[in-house]
Amino acid sequence: MTAPFGARLADAVARRGPLCVGIDPHAELLAAWGLTDDVEGLRRFTDAVVEALAGTVAVLKPQSAFYERHGARGLLVLEDAVATCRAAGALVLLDAKRGDIGSTMAGYADVLAPGHPMQVDALTVSPYLGPGSLEPAVRTARAHGGGLFVLARTSNPDAATFQHARLADGRTVAQAVVDTVAGWNDPGWLVGDPAPDPGAHADLQGRWGAHTGSFGVVVGATLAELDVDLDGLRGPVLAPGLGAQGGTPADLRRLFGAGRAVVPTVSRDVLGTGPDVAALRGAAQRWAAELAV
């Protein structure tokens, strides 16, 4: 079996830094690049981003919806991009926010399994059909060394409507999600994970350690305050919202401190510099440098 996702993520961060860049070819961005809103424009956009970033960024996060909207040929573009990114050493987190029950959830999770034509390293999932709904995805991830990032405390304006709702035991729904994911990161699953390769970002070892769990949560980088307890998570935090959405490296430090495995996500601030490959790479490098301070 391949090394667990948590170990591979820690290794990628140690070598490349913690930056995750979203690949979000929405219609407005295609137009801003001077591309047509069709499969050809989608492919040209994706090829440029992959060429610029796959060799240097730790995690690339394609948004499945922007490929699905172009039908089967759009998914073929995504399939090619995923394979190229992984071959270049980047981890691929498919941002699909899947959430269902039983065999349907197992079908969604197959994207984490070897032999799938679009095998990725990790998948974003939604927990709002209950903790048991995600068990098929957890089983698949464990069996094949994949990872999951579960929506927990997002920072869209009306997220608190559901995420701040209280359970009978007094916890918020968001906290119950974090606690559920923490249970999946039982230390027994981490025994024997290889330590990250101490590369250019070996200073991050204290933050990540040799045994980062493979199951993480999504917590927005633009929250006014951190209102969930992440201390027992033992896994990574995906923190979207940097750049155009208003989040800054200072917000990451304010919310998460210096002792947590955080994967900060930038999209528009990097993608907006295209279509020039050198400009895309330079923008990602500037963000990586800011996050390393």
Torsion angles phi and psi, residue 150, rounded to 5: -100, 130
CB burial readout 15-29, b (16+ within 10 A) else e: bbbbbbbbbbbbeeb
- 197-217 average pLDDT score: 61
Q: For residue 207, what pLDDT is reported?
A: 54
Residue 103 has pLDDT above 90, yes or no: yes
For 174, the domain range is: 5-292
| Pair 221, 242: CB distance under 8 Å | yes
Whether the CA torsion 242, 38, 50, 123 is positive or negative: it is: positive
CA distance 160 to 78: 32
User: Using omega within 30 degrees of 0 as the cis cutoff, is the peptide bond preceding 187 cis?
Assistant: no
Q: Give the pLDDT band of residue 63 (cuts 50, 70, 90).
A: very high
Q: For residue 201, what pLDDT is reported?
A: 46
Work out the end-to-end distance of the chain between its first and last CA atoms, rounded to an integer number of angstroms.
35
Grouping H, G, I as helix, E, B as strand and the rest as coil, residue 251 is helix
Q: Give the pLDDT band of residue 204 (cuts 50, 70, 90).
A: very low
Q: For residue 258, what pLDDT is reported?
A: 81
Q: Is the pTM here over 0.85, yes or no?
A: yes
Residue 196 has pLDDT above 50, yes or no: no
**168-195: pLDDT as tens digits:** 999 999 999 999 999 999 755 443 344 4
Residues catalogued as catalytic: 97
**230-287: pLDDT as tens digits:** 999 999 999 999 998 899 999 999 999 987 899 999 999 999 999 999 999 999 999 9
Task: Check which CATH number belongs to the domain holding 284 and give it.
Answer: 3.20.20.70
User: Using omega within 30 degrees of 0 as the cis cutoff, is the peptide bond preceding 249 cis?
Assistant: no
Query: Range with the lowest mean pLDDT among 46-55, 144-153, 238-247?
Result: 238-247
17, two tokens: 């830094």
Residue 221 has pLDDT above 60, yes or no: yes
CA distance 152 to 238: 10
Residue 97 has pLDDT above 70, yes or no: yes
Residue 155 has pLDDT above 80, yes or no: yes
H/E stretch holding 147 reads: strand 147-153
Residue 55 has pLDDT above 70, yes or no: yes
Q: How many distinct structural domains can be found in the chain?
A: 1
CA distance 229 to 221: 15
